[in-house]
Amino acid sequence: MILKNRHYKITDVVSFRKTTEPFGGLSNMASGYSINVGGVIIRTSEHLYQACRFPDYPEIQEAIINEPSPMNAKFISRKYAHLTRKDWDEIRINLMKWCLHVKLAQNWEAFSSLLLKTGNKPIVEFTRKDKVWGATLEGDYLIGINALGRLLMDLRESYAKKAIQPYCIESPKEIDNFSLYSFPIGIVCNDFYVNELHSNFDYSYSLD
């Protein structure tokens, strides 16, 4: 992704800022889209994203994941910002892409339906300050890199519109030391796929 400002006429976009808005589910802060990573249930994609800042500090990851509020989870992350992985600025876009793919894979019906409701309009996170993940209002335009909105549009075009449900998501190959609670994060699958594997597995084998 090229980190360059985009200009969006506010009347031509689908924007979101609060989780209570019609398209609030597109926000990383939105509840109702829990994620299961290696048996660890994570409330929101924001919790997951922030926890991944600290692969060498499982105790910080645990504090973030156990925090009920995604906003407070973000505040915990800021508190320990000095311990953030050194390559954070280089990997955070790809990490967010992975988080959103997992969110879609494990919440397919609700999340894909919401993406489809945006039609063909640009998706923009409407923010007051953050011009990297979203865009700020300047006159009749929202201006910013809008990285989150662009990642969401990619999901909409690549998966939701084509009705292609991703069942399993591989960890980003370009990210080293990618772990949760000291265990490497490998392939993350949705519950349907895992249940299918169990139902089709032959447990009758024995050594007799």
Kindly state the tokens that stand for 111: 């999340």
Query: Side chain identity at 93, as an amino acid letter?
Result: I
Signed CA dihedral, 118, 112, 165, 96: sign only: positive
Closest CA to 148 of 163, 135, 161: 135
* Bridge partners of residue 180, in order along the sequence: 183
Parent domain of 22: 6-200
208 located within any domain = no
CATH of the domain at 51: 1.10.357.40
207 located within any domain = no
150 located within any domain = yes
CA–CA dist 14, 171 (Å, integer): 29
Q: What is the separation, in whole angstroms, between the first and last Cα of the chain?
A: 56
131 located within any domain = yes
CA–CA dist 160, 111 (Å, integer): 9
1 located within any domain = no
Query: Side chain identity at 123, as an amino acid letter?
Result: I
CA–CA dist 114, 108 (Å, integer): 10
The tens-digit pLDDT sequence of the chain (208 residues) is 678 999 999 999 999 999 999 999 999 999 999 999 999 999 999 999 999 999 999 999 999 999 999 999 999 999 999 999 999 999 999 999 999 999 999 999 999 999 999 999 999 999 999 899 999 999 999 999 999 999 999 999 999 999 999 999 999 999 999 999 999 999 999 876 554 433 443 434 433 4
90 located within any domain = yes
Query: Side chain identity at 51, as an amino acid letter?
Result: A
Q: How many domains does the chain have?
A: 1
80 located within any domain = yes
